[in-house]
Amino acid sequence: MPLWEFLVICGIGFIILELFTPSMFFLNFALAAFLTAIASLLIYKTLTLVIIFFILSFLSFVFLRPIILKKYSKETETGVNDKYIGKIAKVLEEVSENSGAISIYDERWNARTTGDIIPAGEDVKIIRNDSLIMFVEKL
């Protein structure tokens, strides 16, 4: 079996592994295997091809993987940072370090404070969020 065929089979194997472990890890090796298969049509020394494969794998992992993860990440942005951070909200239930609720845009959110307890009815500023919990401070 010619070396380029072996490398193409390895590349296909890496793609199959990537399908079962969607971490964008094996995709780098698949790309390196396909590019090395093309190089094997011009270069016949096995050691040189192994070095090319490792260099391409490394470069793909370092430079291409972050771009792919950023573009095709399945994590969804909530948009909370743009819409709520820095805005003024009304305290519905007393806000402490452990509990509380605020209202903003007619929406109810769980809230916490890192400072003093804020009584109901006060206006607060949203400083950050952690999932579904808004962190607020007194005005």
- % of the chain at pLDDT higher than 90: 55
Are 70 and 92 within 8 A, CB to CB? no
Which residue segments constitute the domains of the chain, with CATH numbers given?
A: 3-72 (no CATH), 80-138 (2.40.50.140)
pTM for this one?
A: 0.52
DSSP result, 53-90: HHHHHHHIIIIIHHHHHHHH-------HHHHHTT-EEE
Residue 8 has pLDDT above 90, yes or no: yes
Range of weakest confidence among 16-25, 78-87, 126-135: 78-87
pLDDT class of 102 with cuts at 50, 70, 90? very high
- % of the chain at pLDDT higher than 70: 92
Residue 66 has pLDDT above 70, yes or no: yes
Percentages helix, strand, coil for the chain (3-state, rounded to 5) are 45, 25, 30
